[in-house]
């Protein structure tokens, strides 16, 4: 990215004195979100898609940085699902494959139609219960990585054949692997692409809400 702003550099044959670069030199040569800005010291550029962006210093504390990384990743994944849920059903309805309402009307239609014979209050209560359960599990896994891959963390799992709730994985709550990565696409390059596309999806979802919700 910096080459686009600084121009093409000349090729220099490395010598013994220039062959090894210090970590500081390597960090400054990595792409940054704005050319010429100083990268905060707490960003060591080891995170996926880390371009040194933290002007408010929110991640200066290590524990806070871990949580912000987790929060960004979760929001990126939700945003990608949300944008796909906006575009794909709309396109399939337009070509005649589906017949569903526009995304900004889907909630109203679902409430009025009472799917499965359930009223809005029942659906809302069920969603709140399931989301609270899932978010509690995520919080516990964040505080104690690997704990939620233990079948004992799921009440009643011992009664199921083979303890199907034992998800296994890497022990990293951000990238658990195992059942959540069946195609083995968890290398560093894919992590960068996920964050990059997720950040774009966050902006796109915000644009969609701005256009259609006024």
R_g over Cα of the chain: 23
Closest to 90 (Cα-Cα) out of 81, 79, 77, 99: 99
DSSP annotation of 45 reads S
CB contact set of 177 (below 8 Å; sequence gap of 6+): 168, 169, 170, 186
34 is in an annotated binding site: no
193 is in an annotated binding site: yes
29 is in an annotated binding site: no
> In whole angstroms, what is the distance from residue 146 CA to residue 82 CA?
28
20 is in an annotated binding site: no
72 is in an annotated binding site: yes
194 is in an annotated binding site: yes
91 is in an annotated binding site: no
Contact in structure between 100 and 106 (CB atoms under 8 Å) = yes
112 is in an annotated binding site: no
42 is in an annotated binding site: no
Annotated binding site: 72, 75, 77, 118, 167, 193-194, 197, 199
Indicate the annotated binding residues for chlorophyll a.
72, 75, 118, 193-194, 197, 199
Annotated binding residues for chlorophyll b, as ranges?
77, 167
């Amino acid at each position: 990215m910096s080459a686009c702003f600084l121009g093409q550099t000349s090729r220099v044959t490395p010598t013994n004195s220039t062959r090894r670069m210090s970590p500081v030199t390597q960090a400054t040569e990595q792409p940054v979100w704005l050319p010429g800005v100083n990268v905060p010291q707490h960003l060591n550029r080891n995170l996926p898609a880390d371009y040194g962006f933290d002007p408010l210093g929110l991640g200066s504390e290590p524990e806070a940085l871990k949580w912000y990384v987790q929060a960004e990743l979760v929001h990126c994944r939700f945003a990608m699902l949300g944008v796909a849920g906006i575009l794909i059903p709309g396109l399939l309805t337009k070509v005649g494959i589906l017949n569903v309402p526009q995304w900004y009307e889907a909630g109203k239609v679902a409430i009025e139609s009472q799917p499965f014979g359930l009223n809005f209050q029942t659906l809302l209560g069920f969603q709140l219960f399931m989301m609270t359960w899932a978010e509690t599990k995520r919080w516990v896994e964040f505080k104690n990585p690997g704990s939620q891959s233990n079948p004992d963390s799921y009440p009643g799992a011992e009664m199921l054949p083979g303890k199907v709730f034992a998800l296994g994985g890497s022990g990293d709550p951000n990238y658990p692997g195992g059942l959540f990565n069946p195609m083995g696409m968890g290398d560093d390059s894919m992590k960068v692409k996920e964050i990059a596309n997720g950040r774009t999806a966050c902006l796109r979802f915000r644009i969609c809400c701005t256009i259609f919700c006024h």
